[in-house]
Structure 1
């Protein structure tokens, strides 16, 4: 099952003192009061009254409110009042958690990457933690905004953005399924601050000689230096490089091709990168050093895991470029330099860095399109990178 929640319930009669003394644990837990009424205690310390009931043969749950705003006596009265209104009334609305589970069961099998599946589940669990037991048509924008603000307060702005986007997809699915008529995620993203542009900072091409001067005169382990150079030579995303493996046979040194599988590509399509003499040489060095068929660039302490992108970024920061350059910046340098040269068509440059127009996505995607021009482009660019590096290359 893709979506899991902890639902362990202990049964005992409750009093306000007992509820007050309930302590948060690592996972959410619930204590039953009787007749379907339970108090759920969250790791954050929040306590919510939830009524579990059956209607028209289906099990449902309704959130009645939070403790201590609502005490035991009031919670029981609310539960009785609600159940007394059920007669003759159709109540068949699933909870947010149930809709998430249904959405995942339909969408999940189409995802090729296990890492992506895990990330989706993690983000949905994260943003829906306090709302999963609430009927989906009862969730308001203020509820979503409250959770988004909590995530932003922890400094994880990108997580807030992506989690909200996924939750919005779930609500759109719920609307299409006639579970609700509204998407409370709309406009909720306006509470997320804009990220500083330095997160994707990039040097100008004319600054690259000085950059490589400093880097190559500093201490960097051989494997990390090769990874940094390949990031510059190939202009691929750093995650695509660091997750490259020998056992996938994605790198063909004889054909001088690197076929990055769809599971690692942002647009979920295979992408072919022409290899030049320079990049073949670097991959051959790594091939001669390999100890198994796993990741080409390994985590130093966990050889079954890939090298972390932070390790590559640390090289850049240590050499004085903390706010001036990023690993993503190599892609920007490539695009800027190639476009400014006026030697190559814009379509060829964009295709090489896997920026494909949306109208292309709907049609037939040819991963080898513009191949002769792209090969010429990458050969030219590798020679430009050599010009930036070679004067200062350590013997």
Structure 2
């Protein structure tokens, strides 16, 4: 554990010191820096002279109204975590539909990253209309052999490569669910990033669903927290369950203010990040083709959001060592983390995020960085094989 902590500390120090990066992670900032940034933004989004919230009033209510307005939905409730928000939402829908079965993708966040919370905590059962690395089609939903009360769609589907369907496909799949008398819930942790791909504003996207969850830290750089938006009756019931689940905190103003700052500052920039990600992904693909890598994949080839995946046929420890050495020795951070691809032995994957820091990069900058990175990979791989 000590070695892991020391390694995390070293990585943060290296990434903070890098002169160039595609993305500056909020978690690499110090407590003082985060507090200073929050204090500097408060005046843009709220009254600094107002009193802090008390069990969800004040600035928390401001945030809830803002989210409901952006999504074009009647009401919204703030939650400390998205895990809790979605558990509550689908529990409430189960009472209304009479079915505790939720259809979702096996790569969706609740299935991979929440320790079976749907079943263990809320008594929900999950089924999978498809196992393909994409969201289900209308036919797969319409023809699925088991009944379900709710269809949950993660937009974008992160673990498949931050992928999205087309607008026509999304509209068709929601209609197919309703043909089966099922409600539609959007796991919109990153919904803020979706308008450029769909060519539709947030409220039109949200209108396809019966309820929507959004996160405040994944795209917006907030401290924590989430919101559940939907019909007033659903949100009112969700507030009651939020209390029962332990989510009605005494004060939440730092998280609420950080969310409002993110909506004010980061939300308008997300389309530019997506445009930059397309340039970066194309340049990476060109550079890997000219590199000694025996195989690679940049997915999606044209990113749907400002995030995408890169796969390379090397052990994760080799790629991590090369990435960290590049950051430390050249001042350029191209990749942060690599992990073994569980479905394909010998392949490792990295999530690439392009945000404000990445807007400065040209295609040539990316190609040069990839070439330099691959030189290090070849050297590290040879040492790994020898050792």
**TM-score normalized by the length of structure 2:** 0.23
Q: Quick one: higher RCO (CA 8 Å, sep 6+), 1 or 2?
A: 2
Q: Which has the larger radius of gyration?
A: 1
